Every structure is written in C-alpha cells, then in structure tokens.
Structure 1
Amino acid sequence: MTRHLVLVRHVKSDWGSAGQRDHDRPLNVRGRAAAKALGRWLQARGAIPDEVLCSSARRTQETCALLGLAIAPTLLKSLYLAEAHEMLAVLQGATGKAVLLLAHNPGIAELAEEIVSAPPEHERFSDYPTGATLLARFDITDWRDLRPGTGQIEDFVIPRDLT
C-alpha cells in the first residue's frame, strides 16, 4: 500500500503591527492569492488529503482555509516552529492515506530534504520558500513505518511557478 504526503509551508504573511505576537501574524494580500492558487493546483493534481495536520499559528490556519479543502484541519501547537524531527514524529502518528502537513521554516525545509530519496530539480527546494509544496509518495502501509530518504517525489511547486 502507498501513503501520500502534501508538505506545505505557509504562504506570505504580514509582519503586522508592533507588539503583535509572531503566532498571531495574518497572511498578506500576496499570500492569500498564493494560497488560492496552490489550492487550485492541488485540485488539478488530484492531491486531495484525507487528513490535514496544521500548525496552530494564524498564518498556517489561513493558508489552510484558502486552499479550499473539504476537510477540517487538526490544529497542533507542536507544529508551530517545530524542528524536522518533531514534524516527522507528528507525521508518524498520522492516520490518513493522504496527509497534508502545513507548517513553518526552517523545520519544514529540513523535513522535506530528509524524507525524500532525491531532491527535485527545482532551484528553490533547499530553501523551501513561503508556499512551497511537495507531493511525495511512500511505499508504506502505516505512517509509523515512515523513514528518512524513502519518499518518491511526485511534484514540487512554489507559488511563483503558478502565477
């Protein structure tokens, strides 16, 4: 059996006003447009998750909402600014066959590099800019069996590729 992963970094956020907590930063106009474009791209690719694991930060929640998915996310404070090994642990606890994990850099970039067998031929993969989205396939029957270096890349895109 196969498991599919959609690994998304939140889109562009607004740096807000003085004194605003990082956790509470909203998306900016460019980010909202990018999230909608990514949602259309996911739909066109048939990359529809049956489980969504999302950081509790406002910008990740807004990104998730604008993707236009028909599934409510599981909001996890543990994904807020998590390191790659923490994200991997969350993913290993997933139950869906197709999981979307939405979080932050630098952890998400490190996780992306760690879980695939070879990086895609895209100049922005290593820095995983805002809105970067990886589609990967794993030949496992349970997420608990997920190991580094085993993901096969199906696609990788950044919002600039879509506009």
Structure 2
Amino acid sequence: MRLYLLRHAKSDWGEESLRDFDRPLNTRGKSAARLMGRYLQENSLFPNRILCSTSQRTRETLTRILPYQPQEAQIHLLSDIYDQGDLSYTSVIRRHGGRAQQLMIIGHNPATEQTAIELAGTGAPKAMADLRIKYPTGALAVFDFDIADWADLQTRTGHLDRFIKPRDLSSKLDE
C-alpha cells in the first residue's frame, strides 16, 4: 500500500482578521500546488482515497492537484486533520484509510512532518535526512507499506520512496 503525505501549499498571512482555519493560499502556494499536481501526474502517483483537512488552505491545495488526477478518488474532508495539527496523523490514517491502495493525506505541520518521521523505517539516505531537516509547505513524502489494511499501520514500517519539495520542481514553475 502507498501513502502520500502532502503538506498544504504556502498560505497567505496578509489578512490579519482571518482565523488560522480560514487562511487561503498565496500566489506562490497556488503555483506550487499546481506544480505538485503536475508532478503527481507525470510520475503516475494517483491516490484512490484522499483525506484532507477542512481548512481553507488544504482544500485549495486539493483543488489545485485534482485536475492532474486522471481517476476519481474518494475524498473525505476531516476536521480531525486540522484539529490534530500539532500531533501525528497515524490514528487518522488507521481510522479512515481502510483498504485504499493509494492513500493521500493533505494536512498541516508539525503533524505532517511528525507522521512522516514516525512512519519512516527505510529509504534513500538523502531523502531520509531531508525529511528530518524540514518539511516545507507543499512538500510530499511517498511511503510504501507491506500491509493489507491501514488499521494495521505500525511506526517505522514505511519505506520512504521519495521526498519532493516545491523548490525541487521550481525550475518548472514558469513552463
């Protein structure tokens, strides 16, 4: 089974009266989310279930990657992902992942980073090191697991296939 951990793209801090939950993506975030969507498409990374936080910036990130997904995915907007933003998403994955072969979480930090670190068992040394240094906005970690149901997910059992940051793809922003 494959897990995609996508941190929402860069949000706009310009409107001070907005609650954190209501912050939209800024211009750079919109471009980065589309770029990540294109990356997913070009690399045949197609989740069949997406669990997305209910916040504005995560929903906008989702909206910008969906046009690059050639298949329909079950999409679940979950307040638990926003509410557990300071913790880990492991329990959310176990509860809501089911038997989805390709599961995506679109969430927040520090929980996205914490979840990735918690699940990483093996992977390319550079990707593993990058993951532990910083999990920037718009970044994507892709893990493979040898399980049949997300309820069986255990820490340190994932193989980190790749860790991609928008700046890794930034040369393509102007294409």
**Common fold: TM-score over 0.5:** yes
Give the residue type in structure 2 aligned to 1:54. Answer: C
The equivalent of 2:77 in structure 1 is 75
Distance 2:74 2:56 in 1: 15
Distance 1:60 1:144 in 2: 24
CA RMSD between the two structures: 1.5
- Residue 23 of structure 1 deviates from its aligned partner by 0.2
CA displacement 1:112-142 (0-9 Å, x = unmatched): 0000104651464222010110111000011
Distance 2:73 2:60 in 1: 14
Give the residue type in structure 1 aligned to 2:120. Answer: V
Alignment of 1:66-145 (within 5 A): 66-68=64-66, 69=69, 70-71=72-73, 73-82=75-84, 83-85=86-88, 87-93=89-95, 94-95=97-98, 96-118=100-122, 120=124, 121-122=126-127, 124-126=130-132, 127-145=134-152
The count of residues paired between Structure 1 and Structure 2 equals: 160
Give the residue type in structure 2 aligned to 1:139. Answer: D
CA displacement 1:55-84 (0-9 Å, x = unmatched): 000000000110123435211111005244
Question: SS where residue 117 of structure 1 aligns?
Answer: strand
Moved over 2 A (4+): 68-73
Normalising by structure 2, what TM-score?
Answer: 0.86
- Residue 54 of structure 1 deviates from its aligned partner by 0.4
Percent of aligned pairs with the same amino acid: 38
Give the residue type in structure 2 aligned to 1:50. Answer: N
Query: Which blocks of at least 5 consecutive residues in structure 1 are unaligned?
Result: none
Distance 1:98 1:58 in 2: 24
Q: Which has the higher helix share?
A: 2
Normalising by structure 1, what TM-score?
Answer: 0.92
Distance 2:16 2:143 in 1: 39
The answer to whether the 8 A contact 1:27-1:59 is kept is yes
Distance 2:163 2:83 in 1: 22
Say if 2:6 is the partner of 1:8. yes
